[in-house]
Amino acid sequence: MPTSPRPAMPERTSASPLRRAATGLVAVAVTIALIRALVLQSFVVPTGSMEPTVQIGDRVLVSRFSYLTSDVQRGDVIVFNGAGVFDPLDDGPDTLLAGLGRALATVFSMPVGSRDYVKRVIGVSGDRVVCCDAEGRLTVNGTPVDEPYLAEGNAPSDVKFDIEVPEGRLWVMGDHRSESADSRAYLGAPGGGTVPVDHVVGKVMGIYWPMSRVGGLDNGGGR
């Protein structure tokens, strides 16, 4: 008795190189995103605005976990996103590819663009920060701030100001005051130069390169 021919089985084809590459990139992006979201981020410092604490070319580790369990404190050295504060709010579309590129760059401690800044927190929500008292010192809520981290020969500020930090924002300054474009440079902008707390990437925990400068940072000044 004749039998019907069996239907041809579809040939198995291996995934194309392009698909495999795309899958690999997605896996890398997800892994990097998890690391960035939960643990540490790495930055290379391109300017001298935080000298001598952090110098040009230093590679720093930034903890994203620190502020999940505590609030930002005066004296903390932080990295924050300056978009809409120190930079224009919209500098072009933020594509998936651009985001992946920034994530990969950060893992290898490359500069990730002009949006990210390293500064020291001088005032937190509700603080009144004033420059300067009769002795030329910054005051926070009427108390002079001891600033041993300032660059040699720098005054606390050559710009006079008197600001109350709005709720949910921070007043930040560089340790190399004469070379730092910080909150003082944006006094006339919305928010008076203060940075939203939700723009904070994390707390700078220490320098891991070059070897001659490996160590933690003093995050206690300015309290």
Active site residues: 49, 119
Helix (H, G, I), strand (E, B) or coil at 12: coil
> Which residue, 216, 195, 198, is CA-closest to 207?
216
Contacts of 189 (CB under 8 A, 6+ apart): 85
Cis previous bond, 131, omega within 30: no
**3-class DSSP assignment, residue 26:** helix
> 109, 42 in Cβ contact below 8 A?
yes
Alpha carbons within 13 A on the beta-carbon side of 14: 3
Q: β-strands 200-209, 59-63: how paired?
A: antiparallel
Which residues, 6+ apart, have CB-to-CB distance to 74 below 8 Å? 121, 122, 123, 124, 127, 140, 222, 223
Q: Coil, strand, or helix at residue 207?
A: strand
DSSP state for residue 91 in the 8-state scheme: -
For tokens 């930090």, what's the residue? 165
Q: Which residues pair with 172 in a beta bridge?
A: 121
